[in-house]
Amino acid sequence: MTSVAGASGTADSADSPKPVGERRFSETLHFARRNPKLLIGLGIVLAFLLLGIIGPFFVGHDPNEYVGPQTQPPSGEYWLGTTTFGQDIWAQFVYGLRSTFLIGVFGGGVAFVIGTAVGFVAGYKGGIIDEILNMITNVVLVLPAMVVLIVAIAYLEARGLFVQGLFIGLTSWPWAARAVRSQALSLATRDYVDLARLSGRRTWKIITTEIAPNMSSYLVMSFILLFGGAILIAAGLDFIGLGPAGGVSLGLMLQSASQWSALQLSMWWWFIPPGLGITAIVGSLYILNVGLDEVFNPKLREL
Amino acid sequence: MLELSQVHKVYKVGAFGGGRLRAVRDVNLTVEPGEVVSLIGESGSGKSTLGKMVLGLSTPSSGRITFEGTDITTIRGHSARKEYYRRVQGVFQDPFSCFNPIFKADRVFEMVHTSYFPRTSSADWKDKVLDALATVRLDPGNVLGKYPHQLSGGQLQRLLIARALLLDIKLLVADEIISMLDASTRIDVLNLLADLKERGLGILFVTHDLSLGNYVSDKSVILRKGAIAEMGPTARVFDNPLHPYSRHLLSCVPQLHRTWAEVDAELKANPPEDVTLPTAPDEESAPLIEVEENHFVGIDQG
């Protein structure tokens, strides 16, 4: 009930002359700085992101080049050791981080754009449009995404990072669409949406300026979850050998480690960095998400 | 100016849309320039649905709603709709939910500015807004630059009326605009409506409060279960109610100097002469009979 929310707002407005936008922002910041989950998650993700951005500049060679002695454990010269063929694992790791983040942003981004667009239109328009979009969403939702991806990517000629991201995006949007739709459905019946219509606003403008700002925290969290999901799916595809051809990624590193029996040969430095990298990034994204949820949702705040 | 003819609204209800809920049944009425028409009825009588249909926020299941000769259900496209809203505006019942809580309250004026008067400079627009605020007797310093939760319901309600006045409107749909106001602002808004009427505005005044209907309107329409029970000039409807439902409704209005028992006793002592009510030939229609000049009475729905 908005009127109830408004009424309680009226009550506390008397003793706080500061404008609410500023207050809301500083309040969010106040809780954000005191939320360990958010800080730890964000710290780990940002550290890996920095490593992925800066690291490759300090690697003077191609990550797949045979540069050093074969099968070396970590040392001063090769920080994470070398592979059976003498490739520098540190170089592969930082390049792999970079492509992992790229696939997360691009795949997650495509899924986010499709998911929110479908969700908003379905939730706002309602009726037959909602029925049709909901049907499409449900069909895509029950498709075995991994199988579709394997078939699609296996038959595709071009196998770059962006094609992979595009396909991941095209298969992982449905739950975001459903989540956004349910929120938009309730927000679209508010009187201020009707008032915007009476003010001669176009549909897309009502969606972007009236409905979306009211669920911004929800949208941020959807993006984070899609981002993490895209990284995991990409790692899975890479691991079964459907990664970007000629490139390097954390999943591809795991695949070649397994292919050349790193585990059996106790070459722990070959499979632990990429495995740990993926786990740490996705894990801290989820922790970050829980932290954000606590910051945005007053009911979950630990005071 | 505004004419509703045989307007129906039927909602599909139930799991498979099998059930039907008749919200508005065969309503015919007109609103002329400078005329205040009050739609009076209990909750669920279809009065707000009628208001929403006139505003184009909901489409009638059948029937025609014409405004200055054009059927508004045939308005297609964004620009035509926008032109319609330049002349017809609405003020809703709950002022708290009419403002987007995360933006400042005066953003409703800015929306009208950018949509309808993009060429007006900010300074000119500000003057216009101040004029409109003066019309609704609001102090600009108290309401501009504030967030909705910092303002009272009455202030928000008057901001919405001021917003409607910024456009050169011909028809205002006022849906229960008084119900959220306290007694002192209530009379201000009622007087404002009277001023607007003087300026030639047609007002469709939706209310459940009989005394308010009596106070402001020229024509009263009493709705019951979606159909018109009685319609006519306010004075005649209130002095000489013909439909049993309107009689019952009017006897329910609390009076300062009489108890309900006295009212009932008086009604029993000299019962009003009965009029023959029209009978509906089917479930769909709701014919009216003109008992005296411009005073219509509708079907009896028990």
Structure confidence by residue, pLDDT tens digits, A193-218: 999 999 988 989 999 988 988 888 78
Contact criterion met (CB < 8 Å) for A198 and B81: no
Cα dihedral: B257, B260, B265, B267 (round 10): 90
DSSP letters for B139-178: -HHHHTT--GGGS-HHHHHHHHHHHHHHS--SEEEEESTT
As for how many domains chain A has, the answer is 1
Does A125 contact chain B (CB < 8 Å)? no
Does B111 contact chain A (CB < 8 Å)? yes
- Read off the pLDDT of each residue in B233-262 and give the average, rounded to a whole number: 84
Nearest CB neighbour to A194, from listed B92, B145, B147: B92
Closest chain A CA to residue B80: A200
Residue A5 predicted with pLDDT over 50:
no
Position A29 in a domain: no
Residue A17 predicted with pLDDT over 50:
no
- Read off the pLDDT of each residue in B286-294 and give the average, rounded to a whole number: 85
- Read off the pLDDT of each residue in B142-158 and give the average, rounded to a whole number: 86
Mean pLDDT taken over chain A: 83
| Distance (Å) of CA B250 to CA B48, B71, B237, B260 | 21, 35, 10, 11
Position A139 in a domain: yes
Residue A158 neighbours by CB distance under 10 Å: 9
B40 in Cβ contact with B208 (< 8 Å) = yes
Nearest CB neighbour to A210, from listed B89, B96, B100: B100
Closest chain A CA to residue B83: A200
Q: Let me know the angle formed at the C-alpha of A82 by A79 and A86, rounded to the nearest 5 degrees.
A: 140
Q: Let me know the angle formed at the C-alpha of B207 by B27 and B199, rounded to the nearest 5 degrees.
A: 90
Residue B149 predicted with pLDDT over 70:
yes
Give pTM, 2 decimals.
0.80
Does A208 contact chain B (CB < 8 Å)? no
In chain A, what residues touch B49 (CB-CB under 8 Å)?
none
Position A135 in a domain: yes
| Joined tokens for residue A58 | 């300090």
Nearest CB neighbour to A213, from listed B81, B98, B102: B102
Position A142 in a domain: yes
- CA distance, residue A156 to nearest chain B CA (Å): 43
Does B137 contact chain A (CB < 8 Å)? no
- CA distance, residue A195 to nearest chain B CA (Å): 7
Nearest CB neighbour to B96, from listed A2, A201, A202: A2
Contact criterion met (CB < 8 Å) for B82 and A200: yes
CATH for A260: 1.10.3720.10
Does A238 contact chain B (CB < 8 Å)? no
Give residue for tokens 């600009």: B140
What residue numbers bound the domain in which A160 lies?
87-300
Nearest CB neighbour to A191, from listed B94, B147, B152: B94
Q: Let me know the angle formed at the C-alpha of B130 by B128 and B133, rounded to the nearest 5 degrees.
A: 110
Residue A120 predicted with pLDDT over 90:
yes
B16: CB partners within 8 A, 6+ apart = none
Q: What is the largest CA-CA distance in chain A?
A: 73
| Per-residue confidence (pLDDT) for residue A177, from 0 to 100 | 94
Q: How confident is the model at residue A9 (pLDDT cuts 50, 70, 90)?
A: very low
Give residue for tokens 């500083």: A26
| Per-residue confidence (pLDDT) for residue A108, from 0 to 100 | 94
Prediction ipTM score: 0.86
Position A224 in a domain: yes
| Distance (Å) of CA A191 to CA A72, A296, B23, B108 | 68, 24, 20, 12
Out of A4-13, A84-93, A118-127, pick the least confident: A4-13
In chain B, what residues touch A214 (CB-CB under 8 Å)?
100-102
Position A264 in a domain: yes
| Distance (Å) of CA B224 to CA A136, A283, B24, B235, B269 | 43, 61, 9, 20, 27
- Residue B295 or residue A86, greater confidence: B295
Contact criterion met (CB < 8 Å) for B85 and A202: no
Position A235 in a domain: yes
Position A77 in a domain: no
- Read off the pLDDT of each residue in B73-86 and give the average, rounded to a whole number: 88
- Angstrom distance (rounded) from CA B51 to CA B43: 14
| Per-residue confidence (pLDDT) for residue A241, from 0 to 100 | 76
Structure confidence by residue, pLDDT tens digits, B113-141: 999 999 989 999 999 999 989 888 888 98
